A = this chain, B = another copy of it.
């Protein structure tokens, strides 16, 4: 599949781009700054077919992942609404603030970044996913097992199934339905708890759902 990544030069976008390319997808890594995107795409050349482009060009892809910082989220999506119409848009933005006590969830008027995206993109099918995966693990090609589950949130069964299938690009990870879009805020915010876990236990944590013996990991290590 041809996958565009808005904000593809940030840690999460870059890490997902690497894994999608390693899985054989064609990746259009987008950035505000196309020359910066080209530079990062070159750094990912060993992973597979990755091109660095402007965000507007990445938005032309078949499926588009939104991985920009929350500050620029609404403005960017507003500017690309026409290009994104009719597509599945995967939002993995975590609206977090940071202070002396660490990260905390920001108040989002729409409830969550994913709901904000759906409001701005009424012609697109927004799915929330990839919020809690360690960017560090994604972007390290020596990591062959990315533990944990990817909670996939949305309203449309076909789009959810498509994104659950996309999780197979992360070896060891499993895509699971995690609820409707109105439950996305919790999954976005959970990243703050995982950062607290990381600090206390010196690790790169993720989440898994227990009690699902019959739902296999997307791809065993």
Contact = CB atoms under 8 A, between A and B. Distances in A.
Contacts of A177: 196-197, 200-201
A206 B212 CA distance: 9
Interface string A166-200: 00000000001111101101110110111011001
A105 interface: yes
A207 B205 contact: no
A148 interface: yes
A72 interface: no
Interface residues of A, number: 39
A212 to B, nearest CB: 6
Given A205-B209, A208-B208, 6 more contacts: A148-B211, A183-B192, A185-B189, A186-B190, A186-B192, A207-B209
Given A190-B186, A200-B177, A212 B208 contact: no
